[in-house]
Structure 1
C-alpha cells in the first residue's frame, strides 16, 4: 500500500522544493524523487524544474563539486567510490571528471596514507603480510586506486 500523496497548491509545492534545494545542494534525480511525494501533473513538474534551474537552486555542477569535497575530505572516500555513487545519481562521466579537480593530488595521497596507517594500527595479532593485505582490501573498499594504495603501502 502506498502512502498518501500530499496535496498542496502549485506555489506551495514550488516553495517546498525551493526549501529542499536551499537546505543542501541537490541533483536532478533527488529533486525528481522528492517531487513524487506531491500530486503534480507533468507540466507542473517541468515548470518547477525549469524554475529551480533558472534561479540557480538546482545546479548539477555545484552539486557534483560539493558532493566530491564532502565525500573525500569528510568521509575519506576514494575517487572510484565517489564516481560510482555520482553515476547512480545520474551525473555524467564528463561532469564527474571535470569536477575531480576539487581534490588536490597531495591531499589525496595524504588521506590514503592517513587511512592506511589508522586501519593498519588497529589490526593486532596478525602477521605483517596479513595486516598489510587486510589494510589494502579495506582501502580498495573505500574506493581508492590500487596503484595509489601500493605507493603508500610501500613507503
Structure 2
C-alpha cells in the first residue's frame, strides 16, 4: 500500500493561499479546480471560500479569463469543436453565461476553415474506397472532435473536402 497517497497534506489557510497563488499564476484555473485543491489541503469550507474570495480580489482567479483561455487553447491548439469545448467547460463547472461569452471569441470563418482543414486532412489519410462509407467516417471523425453535425454535413455535401 502506498502510504503517500493515503495521507492528506494539512496546510494552514495562509500556506494554502500562498500555494494557490502560485498555482493560479502559472496557468488560468477554474474556481472548481482551485476549490478542489484547497479541500485536498484539508481546509474547512469557510476557509476555502475565504481564500477563493482573496484570490479573485487579487486577480489570481478570474473565471471569465479562464473560460476565454480554455476556449482559445482547445480550439486553436487541439482543434476542438464548440460542442466538445462546452462539454469541457461544463465539466469544470463554468456558468452558462460565461461559456456563451467565451465562445464568442472564436472567429466563425476560422472555425469553418479549421473544420474544413480537419476533414481534408482526415480524408487524405482514409483508405476507404466506398464514397458513402468514406463520407460517414469523415462525419463521425468531425463529430467526435465536437463539431456541429449541420456544419459537418454542409461541408461534406458541398464537396469542400478534396
For residues 80 and 127 of structure 1, the distance between their equivalents in structure 2, rounded to whole angstroms, comes to 29
Counterparts in 2 of 1:1-155, with a 5 A limit?
3-153=6-156, 154=158, 155=160
**Could you tell me the TM-score, scaled by structure 1's length?**
0.94
For residues 26 and 129 of structure 2, the distance between their equivalents in structure 1, rounded to whole angstroms, comes to 46
Report the Cα offset of residue 88 of structure 1: 1.4
For residues 98 and 121 of structure 1, the distance between their equivalents in structure 2, rounded to whole angstroms, comes to 35
The answer to whether the Cα contact below 8 Å between 2:12 and 2:43 also exists between their aligned partners in 1 is no
CA-based RMSD: 1.4
Q: What 5-or-longer segments of structure 2 have no aligned partner?
A: none
For residues 22 and 128 of structure 1, the distance between their equivalents in structure 2, rounded to whole angstroms, comes to 50
Report the Cα offset of residue 36 of structure 1: 2.0
- Cα deviation code 1:15-50 (max 9, x no counterpart): 101111111100111001111221212222121111
Q: What 5-or-longer segments of structure 1 have no aligned partner?
A: none
For residues 78 and 125 of structure 1, the distance between their equivalents in structure 2, rounded to whole angstroms, comes to 24
Report the Cα offset of residue 62 of structure 1: 0.2
For residues 149 and 45 of structure 2, the distance between their equivalents in structure 1, rounded to whole angstroms, comes to 46
**Could you tell me the TM-score, scaled by structure 2's length?**
0.90
The answer to whether the Cα contact below 8 Å between 2:39 and 2:48 also exists between their aligned partners in 1 is no
Could you list the structure 1 runs, at least 4 aligned residues long, displaced by more than 3 angstroms after superposition.
none
